[in-house]
Copies of this chain bind each other. A is one copy, B any other.
Amino acid sequence: MGPAVGTAKAPAGEPNAVDRLAELLTEDLNAVDALIHQHMTSPVGVIPNLAAHLIDAGGKRIRPLITLAAARLLGGGGDGPRKLAAAVEFIHSATLLHDDVVDLSSMRRGKKSANLVWGNSASVLVGDFLFARSFNLMVETGDIQVLDILARAASVIAEGEVMQLAAANDADTTRERYMEIIVAKTAALFAAAARAGAVAAGRPGAEAEALETYGRELGLAFQLVDDALDYGGRSLTMGKNTGDDFREGKVTLPVVFARDAGDEAERAFWRRAMGGERTDDDFHRAQALIRRHDAIALTLDAARDHAARATSAIAALPTNAYHEALDELALFVVERAH
């Protein structure tokens, strides 16, 4: 299977919900990939090289799939949703490039990250290029409503990233604060991707609302599972390192649960570890405390709640293969952690 499907395969090699969604939308997805490659060209060689390193590395294309499925679910099709789907993937890619600079990451999708290969400066600038190209694509649809949706999402994502940066090394980060961060940095793009698909299908009203909620809740479930996996191994299948969040001093929900359930000595550990320098031994201690307090299971429970809200948000929408696939996707996003 091409670059559209990916790293989060079902263990036994059988197709998972992302694979099946990609299968259902093969034609759309091929068109989106063509648009992506067409719009990342530039006479400035570094740009397509760096962009391809990231974009062709086997990302799951979950966000563009959501845009396409949302449009198809409501009977929409054609060029509009495809261009938006490509635009959504560009916004996501730009964000990843800048994230990796901010986090000083060295791995992404199982490969060396672009900042490590080309340097931080090139990653910043090519991120800017992809971000600009996402707007070129949206402009091509001629639809100011979807520009509004995605431009708003883009500024919310940046707010979320800055919030996360400001909260780094703050051992007292609350669950509420953490949720606020992930609503902005992750869920906003999922929500906008789904809403834009509905709007492109000519349904800007209640259906768009429902799909926006689906996207937001799915995005939350997705991020919660990611944050659980960061303490749970599987670094090979996920294409990223375990322990990244801990090393970067990001207080995610597993830490919040373990910290709040811990005794005084444990809370002192979290204060020291999240607030300052962290060693590999600290990470193993953190993992042990997270296990002791069942914090992974609690985090996955929270993810499951959001996934359930995602499917119930669209329950009243037409029943068809796309609707079914979106329901399955919500289940899969949580189950991939097991």
A: residues with CB less than 8 A from B are 42-47, 94, 98, 101-102, 120-122, 124-129, 131-133, 135-136, 138-139, 142, 144, 147-148, 151-152, 154-155, 157-159, 161-163, 165-166
Contact = CB atoms under 8 A, between A and B. Distances in A.
B159 A42 contact: yes
A149 to B, nearest CB: 9
Nearest to A184: B44
A117 to B, nearest CB: 14
Contact of A132 (B102, B124, B127, B155): B155
Contact of A125 (B45, B98, B133, B136): B98
A126 B44 contact: no
Mostly, the A contact residues are helix
A147 B135 contact: yes
A128 B132 CA distance: 11
Closest 3 CB pairs of A and B: A129-B158, A132-B155, A132-B154
B125 A102 contact: yes
A144 B135 contact: no
Contacts of A132: 151, 154-155, 157-158
B98 A162 contact: no
Contact of A128 (B151, B158, B163): B158
A131 B131 contact: yes
Contacts of A148: 136, 139
Contact of A136 (B102, B155, B162): B155
A129 B159 contact: yes
Contacts of A165: 46, 121-122, 125
A125 B94 CA distance: 11
Nearest to A146: B139
Contacts of A101: 120-121, 124
16 contacts: A44-B162, A45-B166, A94-B128, A98-B128, A102-B125, A122-B165, A125-B161, A128-B154, A128-B157, A128-B158, A129-B155, A132-B155, A135-B151, A136-B151, A136-B152, A138-B147
Nearest to A94: B128
A45 B162 CA distance: 9
A125 B159 CA distance: 8
Nearest to A42: B159
